[in-house]
Amino acid sequence: MNEDGAPAPTTLIDLLDRLVEPPEPAPMPMTPQTWGWAVLAAALALALAWIAWRAWRRWRANAYRRAALAELAAA
């Protein structure tokens, strides 16, 4: 007997019957938790924009070369 007067479980089946399912854990959020990730994303976007701007500027600067090559190919 235990403190509450109920007979103490003595067999494995009695012990298994007393088991309860553990509660399910709370779902984990998939969003970044710190502001550092937002800063990193902004820096990455800024770097990609800068690279795209440089490539566009270089493409425009080489327009005369493309025109000359087109004239040579047509001749």
* Res 6 pLDDT > 80: no
**pLDDT tens, residue by residue, 12-69:** 988 888 888 999 999 988 887 788 988 999 999 999 999 999 999 999 999 999 999 9
Phi-psi domain of 66 (left: phi exceeds 0; alpha: psi -120 through 50; beta: other): alpha
Report yes or no on 63 lying in a domain: yes
| Average confidence (pLDDT) over 1-12 | 70
Give the list of residues 6+ apart from residue 2 with CB closer than 8 angstroms, or none.
8
- What is the domain extent for residue 46? 12-26+34-74
Report yes or no on 47 lying in a domain: yes
Residue 21: phi and psi, rounded to 5, are: -70, 135
Q: For the chain, how many structural domains are there in total?
A: 1
Report yes or no on 51 lying in a domain: yes
Report yes or no on 3 lying in a domain: no
* Res 8 pLDDT > 80: no
Report yes or no on 55 lying in a domain: yes
The confidence score (pLDDT) of residue 15 equals: 85
Report yes or no on 16 lying in a domain: yes
Report yes or no on 60 lying in a domain: yes
Phi-psi domain of 5 (left: phi exceeds 0; alpha: psi -120 through 50; beta: other): left
* Res 2 pLDDT > 60: yes
Report yes or no on 67 lying in a domain: yes
